[in-house]
Structures are given as C-alpha cells and as structure tokens.
Amino acid sequence: MIEMDFQSQSQLVDRIAKDMDGPHPSCWDAILPPGFAEERFSEQLERRLRGLVCQPRVAVRGADHTNPSIRAFIQALHWQWTETPSPPNPLHRSADLYFDMLFGLPELRSSKRPLILVLKRFHKVLDNLDKWVLGKLRTEEQARRLHTIVITPLPLSSLKKRWESHKHYFSTSDYGDSRHALVTAEAPNPVEVIRACQDLSIPDAVADYARKLTGGYPEPLAAVLEWWDKQGRPELVPRTRGEMLDVARSQFATFVEWLDPLEDGQYRDQVINLYHQVNPEEARDAFHNHPWREVVLEEDGLRAEALGAAALCAALDGTVDRKMSQSFWFEVTERARRLYERGQYEAALRVLGSTGPDRLRPHDRVLQAHA
C-alpha cells in the first residue's frame, strides 16, 4: 500500500505537539481538504502526542457515524482519557449530565497532565452530535482545561456559512470563536513528490505525470500510483495516460463537493474555466478569498488536472434531465469553437478532449481535426 504525506506534514505534527507541550497550549483547527489523508495525519499526531514528556491524556474521536449515540461519543472520551483497560461504566444515563460529570472527575480535573481531544471529521458533527456538545467543549476550552485539535475540510467560519445555507441551527454556534489557531495543509511540491516516488522505485516521468494529474494530493496520488503498479508498471503511452486520468478523476468527487461552501457551484465553474483555459485570470481572481486557494491553484492554472475533469463531470451530473445535459454539452463544444476562431487551438483541443469522444458531434470532430 502506497502512502503519501502533504507538504511538511511531519513538521506540522511537531508544531502542534510542541504547542501542547508548552506552558500555554492552544486549540487548533487543521484544515485538510478531501484527499489529504486525514486518518494518516491523525494517527501520526496521536503517536506524537502520546510520546510527549508532559504525558497528556489524549482522546481521538470522529464526529461522525462511528458514534452510535452522543452518550457513546462521551463514553469513548471517558475510556481514552482515563486510560482504563476496558470501557468504563457510564457516569450517568443522561448524556449531558454524563459529560458534566466526566469533566468533573478528580483524576482529570486536578491532574497536571493536559487533556487533549483530536476531533476528526468535524464537518460530520452536524449529523451526529448536538449543539450543546460543542457548547460544553467550548466552555472547557475557554477555561483552559481542554485543548482540542479539530480536523476539518473547511474553516469553521466556512462550515457555518454552509450550515446557514441549510438553515441549520448549528450555524448559531460560537464554537471555535477563540483560542483556535488555524492552519491549512499544503500540497507537496514537485521535488518532494519525485523524491518520495524514487524511494518506491517509480520512474521520474511516471511520478511527474501522476503529480500533474493529482496535484500531489496524498490520497489521489497514492491511488494513481497504486493503479499503475498493479497494472504491471506500463509505459506512459496515451492509453495508460488516459486510464490514469480516469483513476485520478474518480478520487476528486468529494473534493469538488466541498469546493463550494455555499454549494452553489460557483467555484466549481471557475475550476472548469481554468481547466479549459477560458478567462483564466478572472477564474484565478475568483479564488482570492477561498480557503483552498493555494491548494487548488498553481502559477499557470490548476494544480491538479484531474480536478478540472472531475468538476466537469460534476457539472454534467448536476443537470437533472437529458435536455439539460444536451444543453450543457452544447455549451462546452461551442466554447471550443470560439477558442478555435480566436486561434487558441491548444485550449480548443483541451475542451473537446474533456467531453469524451462519444459525445462529439460530426462537426465537433472536424473542428478537433483542424485544431
């Protein structure tokens, strides 16, 4: 199994651990876009935290369906923080009273060992926990009795906007309004990708092509390289390149889903513009305030070619009937025609190539041949 890190992943783990081992630990919001190997990061972080001299009490838990109930979530924290060999008995049948009693335990309250919670998949909190749980965590954080490391695909401010668009009551939560340091994972640079692949005896040409497809995002990159390895490490002929693109594109569906905090498709459409090199400067400017700007963009366009292909597929999937689907593809091929008329032949070929040969009309094929 191939595993990849994001840029300076071990340094970020050390940075957070060093803060937790200091006199005034903070809380952290670690922004990991989809595909940035959240589980691998959280495992590395847990190992590092448990090895600190201050011997913190560490609990690692997802805010998702892994919790059958809120009480089960609290009991999991109880077990990890008290470090008992078997699950402890609940302190109360009521979840809210159980949480209060847990934080009131003398062994936790009076201990000099820091109390740390690594809260994974925070974006799922909306479906699996309740607003009062965040309120209790916030109270303990502000009293400096609890130090939480939240792992989330978007900053909490962007998550709240997403919740507001659904008119969800979580949008009124004040969680994360203080003591939270914000850090965003970075995509690996080309040199780091090549070096990591050399350790796996992967040729530089294959590593470079896989990086261009995936942007070096850890999970998509690993998936493409694993596919190539399982296929017998074939040469980079056009067929292999096309199949690698298909593998990479399939890895970006969730990334595209979370690209638009308001789920309105605006950033997705700008990604398509960058993919087709249509009004690229305007598209780049649209990402000025996006939390993933540095992850999505490189100097000359998209960091990951497969992201553009995935955004295009998502736009097509967003059309609700055959008539709308035909209209969408007509717009795409008309875009190619206008690019050709302006002499932008490479961009026109890129647009036509993204539609798939089965969707091209006869005059589109003629245009493709001339371009």
> In the 8-state DSSP scheme, what is residue 357?
G
CB 238 within 8 A of CB 324: no
CB 29 within 8 A of CB 180: yes
Q: Rounded mean pLDDT of 159-184? A: 77
Q: What is the pLDDT of residue 341?
A: 72
Q: What is the pLDDT of residue 4?
A: 93
Q: How confident is the model at residue 62 (pLDDT cuts 50, 70, 90)?
A: very high
Selection from 111, 105, 114, 86 nearest residue 19 by Cα: 114
Q: Residue 109 CA to chain centroid, in angstroms?
A: 35
Q: What is the pLDDT of residue 161?
A: 83
User: What percentage of the chain has pLDDT greater than the value 90?
Assistant: 64
The answer to whether residue 347 scores a pLDDT higher than 60 is yes
Quote the radius of gyration of the chain (alpha carbons, Å): 24
Q: How confident is the model at residue 313 (pLDDT cuts 50, 70, 90)?
A: confident
Query: 120 - beta bridge partners?
Result: 62
- Beta-strand (E) ranges in the chain? 27-31, 57-62, 115-120, 147-152, 180-184, 297-298, 301-302
- Which residues make Cβ contacts (< 8 Å) with residue 162, sequence separation at least 6? 154, 261, 262, 263
Q: What is the pLDDT of residue 43?
A: 97
- Measure the CA angle with vertex 269, ends 266 and 274; round to 5°: 125
Q: What is the pTM of this model?
A: 0.85
More confident residue, 262 or 116: 116
Distances (CA, A) of 37 to 102, 299, 315: 31, 25, 26
Q: Which CATH architecture has domain 9-184?
A: 3-Layer(aba) Sandwich (3.40)
Phi/psi-derived region of residue 5, left when phi > 0, alpha when psi is between -120 and 50, beta in every other case: beta
Q: What is the pLDDT of residue 170?
A: 59
User: What percentage of the chain has pLDDT greater than the value 70?
Assistant: 85
Q: Rounded mean pLDDT of 183-199? A: 94
Q: Where are the domains of the chain?
A: 9-184, 190-250
Q: How confident is the model at residue 352 (pLDDT cuts 50, 70, 90)?
A: low
- 204-214 vs 218-230: helix crossing angle, rounded to 10: 140
Q: How confident is the model at residue 165 (pLDDT cuts 50, 70, 90)?
A: confident
Q: Rounded mean pLDDT of 334-360? A: 65
Q: Rounded mean pLDDT of 324-350? A: 64
**DSSP per-residue string spanning 142-203:** HTTS-EEEEEESS-HHHHHHHHHHTT-GGGG--TTSSSEEEEE-BPPPHHHHHHHHHTTT--
Q: What is the pLDDT of residue 6?
A: 94
pLDDT digits (tens, 9 = 90+) for 30-47: 999 999 999 999 999 999
- 95-103 vs 70-82: helix crossing angle, rounded to 10: 20
